[in-house]
Structure 1
Amino acid sequence: MKKKIILLTALVFLMGTIFTGCGQSKSGTDNSWNEIKQKGQFVVGLDDSFPPMGFRNDSGQIIGFDIDMAKEAAKRMGVKVVFKPVQWDGIILSLKNKDIDLIWNGLTITDKRKQQIDFSNVYLQNKQIIVTTKDSPIKSKKDLASKVVGLQLGSSSETALNSDTSTKNSLKEIKKYSNNTEALLDLKNGRVSAVIVDEVVGRYYIAKKPGVYKVLNDNFGKEDYGIGIRKTDTSFKNKLNETLNSMKKDGTEDKISKKWFGEDIIPH
């Protein structure tokens, strides 16, 4: 009888250990931030050819808005940041496989992506803006009627315009370019009347040409940017959100925004 009691006690203890272990494994949240602190760094995966979010300068260094944001966040969190260029079409798999710890690269928050990964709080809102020359009489979407409008082929701007059928159908012509630089140059030279472009990209180039362009109040929709993180890494995500909030609260994020976009485009 005594042996049975001992065996039963041992069995209960073993089951408790198994269920506790399963709970910890299932949540996977308690140790993620501690693991980052122990490593002393987190690895950011990115496409290093996406100005102004993350790209290489003439010296080959990776720079950009998201790069400055990640460096500042790491500094406040007391760890280092390592930037790892990854093929964009496989970047979520790289995150899941723990090749990287974060995706911090102008990543749009979508329902489809939410099924696979988690996100930080929204730190930037990207709009599909309308850019004209400084002296243009165009003031709204309605004024685009019978005008030639430029945009990048296959871009979010093209998708956004296609979704606004009334505006699209009112245009005289849509000129499609291989990149936004060419579109904005044609706008400057009067070959198109307006350009539709991602705000983060458009304002970056506009800031380099002060007094040449203006941005209309009207836009073709917004999308939220968040930092991609594994669903299991809740404690790391919480620490990251806490850090982002402090950067927003003390105006640091605004300063980084003005550096890269010419003005503060941070949602408040």
Structure 2
Amino acid sequence: MKLWKFVAVACVAALFTAQAAFAGSVWDNIQKNKVLRAGIMTNSIPGAFYDENNNWVGFDVDVAEEVAKRMGCQLERVAVTDKTRIAFLQQGRIDISVANMTHKRERDKSIDFSITYFFDGQKVLAKKGTMTTWNDFVGKKIATTQGTTSELNIKALLKKLGDPNYEKNVISFQDYASAFNALKMGRVQGFTTDSTILLGYAAKEPGKYELVGEFFSDEPYGIGLPEDESKLRDAVNFALQDMWSDGTYMNIYNKWYGPDTPYAFPMTEKIEMWP
């Protein structure tokens, strides 16, 4: 290699090294700025959505606020979707993703996760009285959202049930609102995703829709985190465990999923606690 080329390469490498050192870790930047940037959904009722007064509210919003508080930070909310929540973490646009994201081994190849902070499963929503079992959906159109585990799970279920057109019968939309609207308009006979999200949309028109069948997947939600940020991961995990220990977690849970809410969903599991 010529000397000038070697010097140029060395200078570029040094520049990137210096930039990385200047940028510091995600944890260092959070500590310096005392701001926690959280990716949060905007149409995942009641996880995170805009209410009738255009306030950004929901279970995930409250969890993110509490985690930031326990880390001594202000929360900066950043809107994400099913498609952007992982990319935003990888690009450094957010520090954590509190966005009803199922912890999957495939996803863990590109980001890290907290301990499970919410326990759900997938079901199918249909107009009331039209469907009674999963088999009733064979040969029917079902809406879901693009790039999600729900999309993969429903195709696998229809294939298992013997639907020869299971690929074509799953119609994937950009967001939950579009998928629910397709059900309302009769373009599909079912809408499938995590059951609590389905409960949220069904509550918009009480008595018109119902969940069909049992869970056909487990959906343990984790808070998405950047790769190799152990201090940040510990801080988030400790905050979640402390919230559980002192009752804050269940206060938030019952606010959104308690028996007196439109989204009643009994707690079925317990957060992992470390001694």
Q: TM-score category by the smaller chain?
A: 0.5 to 0.7
Cα distance in structure 1, aligned partners of 2:184 and 2:198: 12
Report the CA distance between 1:114 and its aligned residue.
1.6
Q: Which has the higher helix share?
A: 1
- State the partner residue of 1:66: 60
- Which residue in 2 is equivalent to 1:210? 206
Could you tell me how far 1:73 is from its partner in structure 2?
Answer: 2.3
Which residue number corresponds to residue 99 of structure 2?
105
Q: Cα distance, 1:215 vs. partner?
A: 2.2
CA apart distance, 1:141:
2.4
Determine if the alignment matches structure 1 residue 220 to structure 2 residue 212.
Answer: no
- The verdict on how the C-alpha distance between 1:218 and 1:93 changes in structure 2, with shifts beyond 3 A counting, is closer
- State the one-letter code of the partner of 1:151: A
Alignment match, 1:238: 234
Residue aligning to 2:163: 169
Aligned-partner residue type, residue 142 of structure 2: G
> Does the 8 Å contact 2:39/2:80 carry over to 1?
yes
CA shift, 1:82, in A, is: 0.7
94 and 260 in structure 1: CA distance in 2 versus 1, 3 angstrom threshold: farther
Map residues 193-208 of structure 1 onto 2, 5 A cutoff. 194-208=190-204
Q: How far apart, CA to CA, are the structure 1 residues paired with 2:91 and 2:127?
A: 47
Structure 2 distance, partners of 1:240, 1:83, is 16
Give the Cα separation in 2 of the matches to 1:56 and 1:252. 21
What displacement does 1:38 show?
4.5
8 A contact 2:183–2:189 mirrored in 1 = no
SS of the residue corresponding to residue 81 of structure 1 reads strand
Asked if 1:75 corresponds to 2:69, the answer is yes
2:144 corresponds to which of 134, 137, 152: 152
Cα distance in 2, alignment partners of residues 154 and 98 from structure 1 = 23
Question: Is this contact kept in 2: 1:126–1:223, CA < 8 A?
Answer: yes
Identity value in percent: 22
Partner of 1:254: 253
8 Å contact from structure 1 (residues 108, 223) kept in 2:
yes
Q: What code does the residue aligned with 2:253 have?
A: D
TM-score, structure 1 as length reference: 0.67
TM-score by length of 2: 0.66
Distance in structure 2 (CA, Å) of the matches to 1:155 and 1:90: 10
Shift of 1:79: 2.4
Question: Residue 131 of structure 1 aligns with which residue?
Answer: 125
In structure 2, the CA distance between the partners of 1:260 and 1:117, relative to structure 1 (3 Å rule), is farther
Superposed, which structure 2 residues align to 1:30-69 within 5 Å? 32=27, 36-46=30-40, 48=42, 50-57=44-51, 61-69=55-63
Q: What's the Cα RMSD here?
A: 3.9
Partners of 2:203 and 2:252 in 1: CA distance = 17
Instruction: State the Cα distance separating 1:123 from its structure 2 match.
Output: 1.4
Give the direction of change, closer, same or farther, for the CA distance of 1:233–1:193 in structure 2 (3 Å limit): closer
Q: Which of the pair has more CA radius of gyration?
A: 1
User: Which residue of the partner structure matches residue 265 of structure 2?
Assistant: 263
Cα shift readout 1:101-146 (whole Å, capped 9, x = no counterpart): 11221223222332232110111234220234555671x324x266
* Stretches of structure 1 lacking an aligned partner (at least 5 in a row): 1-24
Q: How many residues are aligned here?
A: 235
State the one-letter code of the partner of 1:119. F
Alignment-derived partner of residue 182 in structure 1? 181
